[in-house]
Structure 1
Amino acid sequence: MRIAIPNKGRLCEPTIELLERAGIRVVDTNGRRLYGKTNYESISILFARAQDIPRYVESGAADAGITGLDMIKEKNADVEVVTKLKMGRCKVVLAVPEKSRIRTPSQLKGSRIATALVNVTKKYLEDKGIKAQVVELSGAVELAPYLGIADGIIDQLSTGTSLAVNNLRIVDTLFESTACFIANKSSLASMRQEIEEVKFSFEGLITAEEKRYVMANVTSDETLKRVIAVMPAMESPTVLKLAKEGEYAVHSVVDEKDLMSTVRKLKNAGAKDILVFGMGRVIL
């Protein structure tokens, strides 16, 4: 199986890190890092521009790939989105100068819109029934209004800092983008087992980032009832009898966002010896 991954940009390092955490390590690359072998004989890596990966996967040059949903939409690629990876998140937005008269998308009629996402922009304008000129740029799109070559922009927004620096404000959000693990449809049919193995590894790692394993001891049946009542769980807490008669250990998997309140509730319910662990993978 050949997996195409970004060779540079904001998704490059997070993608390599994700592969390594999943146990897939690039062990041999050519001098220009165009392709590489991994510690799995059945898996090789193709390094490519993020915007080209949808086409490589669609054509079968790669069996699978990791790239942004924005790139998939821009290329209108006929690929299967196997799973979303919750990294490289951004919004694709319509923005105009702070002093612009444009307050709603309908006011774009006759204006100039600068973008690197030409196809996304054209589809957006078409869906809205708006006739406007699309100005194609390959980078630094947010400078276009300042330079006088556009009245607004459609661009990816990660933090909002660039818009603020260039005195731009958001008029509309087209969609939210995240990195996706995608597959060629024919490859998915012939390599389903291999692709699903990678998918489950990725999903297990991502889910584990949001979970914590909590263990607590209780010293009586009454305390056990109170602890179980406040202990969150994926299905149900695990209860184990301890060697000491009448005492128990309660184990559960808790969402990280609920951890602080859970620990407080457990303490108030009478739990002791509370331990919290990070998790390697959680397969739902």
Structure 2
Amino acid sequence: MQKRLQIAVQKSGRLLEGSLKLLKECGIRVDNGKDQLKASAGNFPLDILYLRNSDIPQYVEDGVADIGIIGENTAFEKQKQIKAILPLGFSKCRLSIAVPKNTAYPGPEFLNGKRIATSYPNSLRHYLDTHQLEAEIHEISGSVEIAPNIGLADAICDLVSSGSTLFKNGLEEKEVVLKSEACIVAHPALSEEKQAILDKLV
């Protein structure tokens, strides 16, 4: 019986739409719908696992999924033993630092000693360390952009695509921490058979 490659994709959102479009463009026909947790390709040895985006790096590291499609920002943030093998060119965004409008902002040194709210503490910490800055990181899981308005933080570090959410919340983007797009990540020790399937896919 032929081995099948297990690919993990986001179960909802922009990454899912881009992932399914990519598979379709590769000529891969998915037999059952995305409302299920698992689907199979009818014309290629590929099974699709629909998972929460933040869980995909762990599943790939553990070998439950052989490969996954995630944002580069997620791959960087989660710091798992996985390898990014191919940027895909969709779901482009950036992880940026923003402050309230009309804030006197001389440059990154503004962040020294400040409180910064983020859902990406590892990425933010790396940026601060690189710039030899010290700040108080407040890790929150959602609605990061309201943190300055409620007195929780002096700045935020969050994903930005169009900037409209920042504008609505009276914030201005000041620094880009990292640029991101969708990419394929893989378990670092795929079997020869599964690597051969992956090579056909990419």
Normalized against structure 1, the TM-score is what?
Answer: 0.66
> Conserved in 2, the CA contact under 8 Å of 1:188 and 1:195?
no
Who is 1:21 aligned against?
A: 25
Who is 2:125 aligned against?
A: 122
Match of 1:195 among 177, 198, 201: 198
Partner Cα separation in structure 2 for residue 125 and residue 116 of structure 1: 15
Match of 2:45 among 26, 31, 42: 42
Partner Cα separation in structure 2 for residue 183 and residue 190 of structure 1: 14
Is 1:69 matched with 2:80? no
> Conserved in 1, the CA contact under 8 Å of 2:124 and 2:177?
no
Query: What is the correspondence of 1:213-252 to structure 2 with a 5 Å cutoff?
Result: none
Q: CA deviation at 1:188?
A: 6.4
Cα 1:105–1:198 shift into 2, 3 Å: same
- State the AA in 1 paired with 2:131: K
- State the AA in 1 paired with 2:130: D
- State the AA in 2 paired with 1:16: L
Query: What is the correspondence of 1:177-192 to structure 2 with a 5 Å cutoff?
Result: 177-187=180-190, 190-192=193-195
% identity of equivalent residues: 34
Counterpart of 1:186 in 2: which secondary structure?
coil
> Conserved in 2, the CA contact under 8 Å of 1:102 and 1:108?
no
> Conserved in 2, the CA contact under 8 Å of 1:58 and 1:184?
yes
Partner Cα separation in structure 2 for residue 190 and residue 146 of structure 1: 54
Higher helix share: 1
* Stretches of structure 2 lacking an aligned partner (at least 5 in a row): none
> Conserved in 2, the CA contact under 8 Å of 1:50 and 1:67?
yes
- State the AA in 2 paired with 1:170: E
Is 1:96 matched with 2:99? yes
Query: What is the correspondence of 1:141-152 to structure 2 with a 5 Å cutoff?
Result: 141-152=144-155
Q: CA deviation at 1:61?
A: 1.0
Is 1:7 matched with 2:7? no
> Conserved in 1, the CA contact under 8 Å of 2:8 and 2:65?
yes
> Conserved in 2, the CA contact under 8 Å of 1:93 and 1:173?
yes
Cα root mean square deviation, aligned: 1.7
> Conserved in 2, the CA contact under 8 Å of 1:65 and 1:182?
yes
- State the AA in 2 paired with 1:149: L
Cα 1:27–1:128 shift into 2, 3 Å: same
Who is 1:132 aligned against?
A: 135
Who is 1:267 aligned against?
A: none
Partner Cα separation in structure 2 for residue 186 and residue 29 of structure 1: 30
Q: CA deviation at 1:163?
A: 1.3
What CA deviation, in whole Å up to 9, does each residue of 1:91-140 have, x standing for no partner?
Answer: 11111011223331112111110111111112211222211111111111
Query: Higher RCO, 1 or 2 (CA under 8 Å, sep at least 6)?
Result: 2
Counterpart of 1:19 in 2: which secondary structure?
helix
Who is 1:160 aligned against?
A: 163
Cα 1:150–1:131 shift into 2, 3 Å: same
Cα 1:36–1:133 shift into 2, 3 Å: same
Who is 1:259 aligned against?
A: none
Partner Cα separation in structure 1 for residue 142 and residue 67 of structure 2: 27
Q: CA deviation at 1:39?
A: 0.9
